[in-house]
Amino acid sequence: MSDPTFAEFVKMRVVLRLPGMEKAAARVGLVYKTIGETRLEADIYRQGDAPADARLPVVFLIHGGPVPAGSRPQKMGAFVSTGELLAASGFAAVAFNHRFYAPGLLTEAAGDIRDLIAFVRGKAADFSVDPERVGLWFYSGGGPFLSLALREKLPFVKAMAAFYPILDLRERAPGEERGGPNDLDDETRLAFSPAAQIAAAAAWAPPLLIARAGRDNPWLLGTVDRFVAAALAANATIDVLNHSAGRHAFDILDDDARSREILARTLAFFKDRL
């Protein structure tokens, strides 16, 4: 199975289809933060025929990186179609961009994510969402931002999912040079390593669903496995779904029964908890 080109990849949609996805309505290009000349934007999806005064549970789609400066990952087919998928399932969904343009911008990107969530919750009536029923869905290099809900209690966050995520930065990736231009200091690595935080947060952390791609990068898989081991040792509420033949981004690259099952179970996970 050949890998798509980047131009093909950014247009690809999730492999699960649900009735009503085509009815999703989107409010796009909502500026939630401006830094100098940089405008950070969000797109909010909901079912087009949902009552205007409905207060829908809301799921934030948190992309990974680093991504090129000024890019808008929320326009990728994967996030557009996942937004539509969530809308068809009775949620509001928020896809957005943040400033994870380089490894050294983790703290800035985390601040953007916080501000985006505050922006949407602060305009809950305008966006027809319930500010107390929030889900977070992390992807790939966005996994370190799961730390936001493990370092402190966010009572409005009721559930979190992470697909093929990086969950431990304490161990450098192969070829990552200590002291190199993109290296992180130990304090930052610890702050953005969910595997280092889950034990202390296990008693109150929101329920977690982790989807693992069995054919992923071995270093990345190691970060997932260390997180899962720490979560189970601390008796955290966690579901682990393994796609043994799945590639990184299996939800769009591998159109097979297991990918569709994992997506459907993730939707059910959010429905049960939001």
Which among 217, 184, 26, 163 has a CA at the least distance from the CA of 105? 184
- Domain boundaries along the sequence of the chain: 6-273
- For domain 6-273, give the CATH number: 3.40.50.1820
Segments in the chain below pLDDT 70: 1
Residue 171's identity, in one-letter code, is E
How far apart CA 120 and CA 178 sit, in angstroms, is: 39
Model pTM score:
0.96
Residue owning tokens 């090129």: 68
Strand 38-47's sheet: what is its strand order? 24-35, 38-47, 92-96, 56-62, 129-139, 157-163, 208-213, 238-243
Tokens for 195?
């595997």
pLDDT digits 0-9 by tens, 16-72: 999 999 999 999 999 999 999 899 999 999 998 777 778 999 999 999 999 998 899
Report pLDDT for 2. Answer: 73
Which residues neighbour 218 within 8 Å (Cβ) at sequence distance 6 or greater? Answer: none
Cis peptide before 66 (omega within 30 of 0): yes
Report pLDDT for 3. Answer: 85
Report pLDDT for 96. Answer: 97
Report pLDDT for 1. Answer: 58
pLDDT digits 0-9 by tens, 182-205: 789 999 999 999 999 999 999 999
Report pLDDT for 15. Answer: 97
How far apart CA 270 and CA 259 sit, in angstroms, is: 17
Which among 260, 266, 204 has a CA at the least distance from the CA of 236? 204
